[in-house]
Amino acid sequence: MTANASAPSRLQQLRELSVVVADTGDYDAIARLRPVDCTTNPTLVKKALGLPVYADLIERELAWARTRSGDRRALVDEVADRLTVGVGAMLAALVPGRVSTEVDADLAHDTAATVAKARKFIAMYAERGVPREKVLIKVAATWEGVEAARQLQAEGIDCNLTLIFNPTQAIACAEAGAFLISPFVGRILDWHKARGQVPASIDEDPGVRFVRGVYDEFKRRGAATVVMGASFRSVDQVLALAGCDRLTISPELLEQLDSSTGTVERKLVPPPREQRTLAPVTAERFAADLAADAMASEKLAEGIAAFARDLDALRNDIAARLGA
């Protein structure tokens, strides 16, 4: 069921206020819903392995692997990288904007290894005809990830700093020159609800309030870093952030927005820029502020662990397909 043709859908209206990004590697969903950007990560790549549209890519990469010898673990890791970039390259042909491509979560606390993997991904995309301007390198926003982004941005490699749960964490990313940050709305709400803290209204939703606060602070600072709300649990959360620079939304919520009508109001409006002298975030302040924030500390660690498990699951799937 689609929205009444005589009235714009809420998705159509939202596109006028924010850049809409698809939080999926589902080729058909992206082709149908027409987001500006999309994302890929081990979870989405593993799901993609079951989609017919990627069958030729998967068989090609597995056939390549079967011609190689050497350390099996290294070969499986290489196939995972090749599939990640292969899926990303196919998606890049669908969207006018960027494809976010996630660096291995098990490198989240290793600046040098993160930088090396990011450079490798950019080179692999280039080999497939995808310029770096079409790619965002997705990095967990640990201090080591922030430092990696600082280096990569200086080289002209744009980064998406993810798993943002704390204001100091967000500001550090902006000061490092990150192209984009992804503050996680739903996971913040999850943490509070698990402790019996249920918001009385969408305006009291702690995830919504966090993103609104980061957006306002960035605009007051004149920060160029894009704020992209992520990890939505409901259409209401999405609409409560209408006007945010970007919003990355699951296909399920995109479908709900596309099949409904009703006025979508701008909720985020840039405040005037302020001239302020601010001390930059240091490693010590970053660590202290996260340590004092139980929600952010737990959710950052939990998110990295979950991404790492997803990467292991992808590797195990590849190993099984290659045979014992």
> Is 267 a residue of the active site?
no
Report pLDDT for 265. Answer: 98
Find out whether 30 and 14 touch, Cβ atoms under 8 Å: no
Q: Which helix (H) or strand (E) holds 276?
A: none
Report pLDDT for 27. Answer: 87
Our measurement of the distance from residue 58's CA atom to the centroid of its chain's CA atoms, rounded to an integer in Å, reads: 23
Report pLDDT for 42. Answer: 87
Q: Which helix (H) or strand (E) holds 169?
A: helix 167-175
Tokens encoding 36: 């500006």
Q: Which of 46, 117, 138, 267 is catalytic?
A: 138
Rounded to whole angstroms, how far apart are CA atoms 140 and 301? Answer: 10
Compute the chain's Rg from CA coordinates: 20
| 208-251 per-position pLDDT tens digit | 999 999 999 999 999 999 999 999 999 999 999 999 999 999 99
Direct distance between the N- and C-terminal alpha carbons of the chain, in angstroms, rounded to an integer = 46
| 4-33 per-position pLDDT tens digit | 557 899 999 999 999 999 888 788 888 988
Rounded to whole angstroms, how far apart are CA atoms 118 and 157? Answer: 8
What 3-state DSSP class applies to 67?
A: coil
Find out whether 85 and 129 touch, Cβ atoms under 8 Å: no
DSSP state of 41: -
| 23-71 per-position pLDDT tens digit | 887 888 889 888 999 888 888 888 877 889 999 999 999 999 999 988 9
Tokens 């980061």 belong to which residue? Answer: 214
Determine the length of the chain.
Answer: 324
Q: What string of DSSP letters covers 81-150?
A: HHHHHHHHHHHHTT-SS-EEEEPPGGGTT-HHHHHHHHHHHHHHHHHTT--GGGEEEEEE-SHHHHHHHH
Tokens encoding 212: 């609104």
Query: Does the pLDDT at position 2 exceed 70?
Result: no
Tokens encoding 251: 């296909």
Query: Does the pLDDT at position 324 exceed 60?
Result: no
Tokens 């390198």 belong to which residue? Answer: 137
DSSP state of 203: G
Query: Does the pLDDT at position 135 exceed 70?
Result: yes
| 67-104 per-position pLDDT tens digit | 998 899 999 999 999 999 999 999 999 999 999 999 99
Tokens 């500006």 belong to which residue? Answer: 36
Residue 131: CB atoms within 10 A of its CB come to 10
- Choice between 115 and 2, residue whose per-residue pLDDT is larger: 115
pLDDT class of 3 with cuts at 50, 70, 90: low
Tokens 């280096």 belong to which residue? Answer: 151
Tokens 């957006």 belong to which residue? Answer: 215
Overall pTM surpassing 0.85 (yes/no): yes
- Choice between 275 and 177, residue whose per-residue pLDDT is larger: 177
| Nearest Cα to Cα of residue 129 among 97, 80, 85 | 85
Rounded to whole angstroms, how far apart are CA atoms 143 and 135? Answer: 22
| 184-217 per-position pLDDT tens digit | 999 999 999 999 999 999 999 999 999 999 999 9
Query: Does the pLDDT at position 1 exceed 70?
Result: no
Query: Does the pLDDT at position 108 exceed 70?
Result: yes
Rounded to whole angstroms, how far apart are CA atoms 166 and 154? Answer: 24
Report pLDDT for 252. Answer: 95
